[in-house]
Chains A and B, each alone.
Chain A
């Protein structure tokens, strides 16, 4: 058996983007982003433990346009990773693996994540 005859992974540059591949890549992307986001989470809880001055400092950053942008991105990432993760759990159980259901659940994950993000923003601004 020669190595050259083995199937190649799709070349991303010439491979047509599909919902199924994009939701998969985005799952990993949001996962890594959320791992980095734990730094902000730690900064928050440690600032509360340190005292009111530290919290003021944290709030100044979190309240800046850059901080707000990060928080919005992480909020969507949490909900997307959560919804798409539930999709993966169903696949692990052998359910919803056909192409039609995989597309429907993909759209559902994106829509539910977007709705939850909007809800969280409304609660935060209320």
Chain B
């Protein structure tokens, strides 16, 4: 146990400097996701039972393809920001925290690139 007071221990370390950035980006992506999520869920609900060609034609329409790419980018970005806070709160120990954070961010990057690649491939096929 240190004899230093809590303020003494904190002083000089500085803040992480990116707390506000995280908070602000979470809000910006959230606002973008409100209309995009409503549009996506109800569009998919409309597509239930459609044949393959109808689904492909819907995704390949330019405005849909562009909207899907923006939706997936915002979704995976917002998702990794949120899970980051959960890991920060519940995963203890520097090594465990670093490794789980790295794997979580990597998984989000892989899934985001795969989903966006799929949209582009369908749209340009």
Q: Which residue of A lies closest to B71 (CB)?
A: A41
B42 touches A120 (CB 8 A): yes
B75 at interface, CB cutoff 8 A = yes
Inter-chain contact A48/B56, CB cutoff 8 Å: yes
The CA-CA distance from A54 to B104 in the complex, in Å, is 27
Q: How far is the CB of B17 from chain A (nearest CB, A)?
A: 21
In the bound assembly, the distance between CA atoms of A78 and B43 in angstroms comes to 14
B119 on the interface (CB 8 Å rule)? yes
**Is B103 interfacial (CB-CB < 8 Å)?**
no
A45 to B56, CA, bound (A): 10
A-B interface pairs (CB < 8 A), number: 81
CA distance A48 to B117 in the complex (A): 12
Residues in B with CB closer than 8 Å to A35 are 79, 82-83
Whether A32 lies near B115 (C-beta < 8 A) is no
The dominant DSSP class at the B interface is helix
Binary contact readout B78-95 vs A (1 if CB under 8 angstroms, 0 otherwise): 010011001000000000
Give the number of residues in A that approach B within 8 Å (Cβ atoms): 33
Q: At the interface, yes or no: A67 with Cβ under 8 Å from chain B?
A: no
A41 vs B114: C-alpha distance when bound (angstroms): 11
Name the A residues within 8 Å of B68 (CB-CB): 45
Pick the contact of A42: B48, B82, B111 (CB < 8 A): B111
Instruction: Give the residues in chain A near B76, CB-CB below 8 Å.
Output: 38
Residues of B within 8 A of A55 (CB): 52, 55
Most buried by B among A42, A49, A123: A49
| B residues apposed to A, CB below 8 Å | 5-6, 27, 30-31, 33-34, 37-38, 41-42, 45-46, 48, 52, 55-56, 59, 68, 72, 75-76, 79, 82-83, 86, 111, 114-115, 117-119, 121-122
Binding site for B on A (CB under 8 A): 1, 3, 28, 31-32, 34-35, 38-39, 41-42, 45-46, 48-49, 52, 55, 75, 78-79, 82, 85-86, 88-89, 92, 116, 119-121, 123-125
